[in-house]
Chains A and B, each alone.
Chain A
Amino acid sequence: MPSIAAFADELQALVDLYIAEMPERIEELRRALSSSDRVQLRRLAHRLKGSAGQYGFPDISAQAAALERLVCENADSSTIHDSALQLIAQCDERAQLCIAAREDKA
């Protein structure tokens, strides 16, 4: 069994990778939003709800859950739009913060 320290490094590497992929997720969200693809939007929000929680970003997870609920409840377009933009802004902000923190350490 690898040491706890080795595992912490491994976890950090996983989080880094997750953050590195954030622009891709944001792009997918934007595309679903601009093409009014609600099925895809719901799916992306659902995935983000699960994965963001798993990687230690409960605020993103909560916002994604809110968006998923709005799409499920068939809320009006502008409400969904606002919620999705908020989610995108949050993803972007958290990713920037993480990258900045990493650079500070290095």
Chain B
Amino acid sequence: MSEISKLNYDEALQKLKSIVDVLEKKQVKVDDLPTYVKQAKELVDHCTKKLSSTEEEISKIISTN
């Protein structure tokens, strides 16, 4: 289980924001670029997944009532 999958939504979003900020300001070394981009992609996927699962769960709860 990767580190990112353990994060809750807010933590993952915060981390994603900080990576975008670093890339915008060009504060990252060229050699480290792939690592940052990969991490950002994983965070986007994790957050999207979290949103979908939350939506499903809420729909399930409401329909059972």
* Physical interaction between A and B: no
- Listed in ascending order, the chain B residues whose CB lies under 8 Å from chain A are none
